Amino acid sequence: MTNRVVFSLTGTDRLAFLQGLVTNDVARAAGGIVYAALLTPQGKYMADFFVLGDEEQLLVDVAESHAALLLQRLTMYRLRADVQITQTDIIVSRGTGPAPTGALPDPRDPALGWRSYGAEDVSDGTDWTTLRVTHLVPESGVELTPETYILEAGFERLNGVDFRKGCFVGQEIVARMKHKTVLRKGLVRVSVEGDAQPGDEILSGDRVAGHLHTVEAGQGIAYLRFDRAADLHTTGAVLTPRVGDIPISA
């Protein structure tokens, strides 16, 4: 892969520093990998990434499109903590076939295979777009935008948030959505019959129900109001939500 950036966090405060900011328990990254996000104080998405840890550093694997923003925010929050943040030359590889030595399982979903970190790209030819649509895995900058609330994007199912780890930026909003409200909107897989494009407005009858994100091979990821998840269509296609993606309580 060439669209990822890996930062190294060193210094005696690196674990406590990152732990107080991001949605997942980065202590579990020691010798492994966790998926997490950094949110705004209002609980909205800023960047999602993977965290790996060893005895000397934490590695943060983030989409190239979000690397500058993440670095700027981490630097802003660092204050006087003993943390040094540097960009590395590590190359991120991905695959679903036989895993190379030292590869780690993608923590979001077993179907997403492995991730490897090294000096060269050993990725295989997996069709990632079709795979992530099939398993409802949002992408940085596509389904995950500055307007995204991570629970609506499935972060709990994707092992990207830990409600027992303690405080993180935006935690109050996320916890309120978890414990005090019923999700009324969110990402849903849909079958697509006809001509539909990313960004198309979705209607339920004549009422706006949401919009399409990714469309691939007759299926797509849509952001929907759950109470308007029937009789769905765009100007050129009929959409059918995947069974089980609409909460029963919606």
Q: What is the pLDDT of residues 51-101, one digit of tens each?
A: 999 989 999 999 999 999 999 999 999 999 999 999 999 999 999 999 999
Report how far residue 187's alpha carbon sits from residue 124's, in angstroms, rounded to the nearest whole number.
28
In the chain, % of residues over pLDDT 90: 91
Domain with CATH 3.30.1360.120 in the chain: 4-98+105-177
pLDDT score recorded for residue 128: 95
Question: Does an H or E element contain 78, and which?
Answer: helix 64-78
Name 94's Cβ contacts closer than 8 Å, sequence gap at least 6: 1, 106, 112, 113, 114, 115, 116, 123, 124, 126, 128
Please check whether residue 128 is in contact with residue 155, taking contact to mean a CB–CB distance below 8 angstroms.
no
Burial class (CB in 10 A: 0-12, 13-18, 19+), 177: middle
Task: Assign domain 4-98+105-177 to its CATH architecture.
Answer: 2-Layer Sandwich (3.30)
> Does pLDDT of 249 surpass 60?
no
